[in-house]
Amino acid sequence: MIDSSCLPQLQLPHTGPVSSPATEERHKPKRLLLVEDNPTNANLAMRMLAETDYTIDCARNGLQACTQAEENEYDVILMDVMVL
């Protein structure tokens, strides 16, 4: 058994909660833009994506997607390659 009374006592300054840009970035809400012109596919994708921690917006065509991308900051844009 170790007698802890003979060990030097460390005095650490109280720093409070740790907050850094990296920590804040991890806790920032994530945004996703889904671009899908087929309502059935859009509905299915929205249901699947609802299980993620993303805030999801949906655009029905390329023009709508461009407008939303200009107005909002998205972390991810998922786009149907054959969207009209």
Most confident listed range (6-10, 19-23, 45-49): 45-49
Nearest-angstrom CA–CA distance, 61 and 36: 7
- Indicate the burial class of 36 (C-beta count within 10 angstroms; 0-12, 13-18, 19 or more): buried
Mean pLDDT computed over every residue of the chain: 80
pTM above 0.85, yes or no: no
pLDDT in tens, 19-35: 556 655 666 779 999 99
Q: Which of 24-28, 61-65, 77-81 has the highest mean pLDDT?
A: 61-65
Q: CA torsion angle for 60, 75, 66, 78 (degrees, to 10)?
A: -40
Q: What is the pLDDT of residue 45?
A: 94
Residue 67 in tokens? 């407008």
Going from N- to C-terminal start, the domains of the chain cover 28-84
Structurally, what CATH architecture does the domain formed by 28-84 represent?
3-Layer(aba) Sandwich (3.40)
